[in-house]
Structure 1
Amino acid sequence: MTDQPSRAPILRVMPGPTDINANGHIFGGWVLSQMDIAAGIVASRRAAGRVATVAIDAMTFIEPIHLRDLISVYACIEKVGKSSMTVKIEVVAERDLGATQVKVTEGVFTFVALDANHRPRPVDQPDPPSS
């Protein structure tokens, strides 16, 4: 995904002081939750309704995230099955007031489209609106 200069991030966020681990870097769980949020947005748009994360198929921490980094989370649908979708996620940190961009994390998450009863449904069958 890094070779697509015109892409827009799904989520941009700056970690705060409470997100730092004992090594002075940002907790892996914090960035994982940001990735899940961004991937969930993309998956729910594609499914036209509710989705649930069912697997983290791959996760790689490439570089640490620092306190003053502004992270951009990019996500795109990689594959669509009957009721599930695979979402590729990439996290890029902006450092030095935006002068430096560093790919810090990437992963692949699987989501399942859900019906009103929270049961799997076909991705291409939109979830009817709640009344």
Structure 2
Amino acid sequence: MESKNVTYHPESLEQKLERYRPDPAIRVVMLPKDTNALGSIFGGVILSQLDLAASEEARIAAGRNVVTKVINEVDFVAPVEVGDWVSFYTRTERVGRTSVTVHVLVVAHRGHRRDELFQVTDAEVVFVAVDEEGKPAEVLREE
């Protein structure tokens, strides 16, 4: 059996961004209060903003309030530093009967060097639509 050589061409960050809304759901500058013991930005700060960005995308897709069910694998691929501008880009992946799945791409500009754009992480977040009493409810789709 003959093996074929396959060349892998990783997708550029610019190519990835084309699959998301053109404007970030959230853009924040990282402050000294957001650091961990090593001086980089605490991962929990990024996760909190990621959840917030995704929840707004899911709320719009569901047509009602949503709550976070699960944040799937989050792999931090680059550290964030004080002064970095971090942007959270979202896209709706799936809308189910009572759930909405959102993908978030987190990118950053290194401080004042606006031309240095890099990926921080990405994640898939699943939300459940809820009614006024906080109980699971069907999404309100426009027909």
The TM-score normalised by the length of structure 1 is 0.89
Equivalent in the alignment of 2:46: 31
CA distance change for structure 1 residues 3 and 16 in 2, over 3 Å: closer, same or farther? closer
Distance 1:89 1:30 in 2: 15
Q: 2:16 is matched by which residue type in structure 1?
A: T
What pairs up with 1:1-131 in 2 under 5 angstroms?
2-4=16-18, 7-95=22-110, 96-124=112-140
Task: Determine which structure has more spread, i.e. the larger CA radius of gyration.
Answer: 2
What per-residue deviation string (whole Å, max 9, x for no partner) do you get for residues 4-52 of structure 1? 1871100000111110111111000000000000001101111112100
The TM-score normalised by the length of structure 2 is 0.82
Q: 1:7 is matched by which residue type in structure 2?
A: P
Distance 2:47 2:87 in 1: 13
Offset at 1:99?
A: 1.5
Offset at 1:2?
A: 2.0
Distance 2:59 2:31 in 1: 28
**1:49, 1:113 within 8 Å by CA — same for their partners in 2?**
yes
Segments ≥4 residues shifted beyond 2 Å: none
Q: 1:71 is matched by which residue type in structure 2?
A: V
**For 1:30, what is the secondary structure of its paired residue?**
helix
Offset at 1:124?
A: 2.6
